[in-house]
Amino acid sequence: MRIWGATLVIVTCVSRWAGAQQPAALPEGVTPAMIEEGGKLFKGAALCAACHGVNATGAVGPNLTDTLWLHSKGTYEDIVRQITTGVPQAQAKGGVMMPPKGGSGINDAQIRAVAAYVWSLSHK
């Protein structure tokens, strides 16, 4: 019985600690598969890595892994909108515009996948 009691205490403590480390809940409609696909697109066909860097920590474009959002509140829908419309040069904080879809030919489903990936970077 003592072993069971000690095990229960350990499991309870580990469960509480693990619960405190859980990532933010995914936005409605976002799945882990979308995030994975978005990461592939980010580094490839969507052309995001060309400006934001392969690790999205910034280069010509801003860092996308922190919680500082320059042109929105950083919600999933805000990110979808920003990827879709881009950022005109006059509004760009660093002076470098972001063309709609990052200048790529990605479709709406791919935009949503990239947005899911970008959202996940700052909501760990």
98, β-bridge pairs: 87
Q: What is the CATH number of domain 25-121?
A: 1.10.760.10
Is the full-model pTM beyond 0.85?
no
Per-residue pLDDT tens over the stretch 19-72:
445 557 999 999 999 999 999 999 999 999 999 999 999 999 999 999 999 999
Residue 74 has pLDDT above 90, yes or no: yes
- Report whether 72 contacts 66 (CB < 8 A): no
Domain positions in the chain are 25-121
Instruction: Work out the pLDDT band at 9, boundaries 50, 70, 90.
Output: very low
87, β-bridge pairs: 98
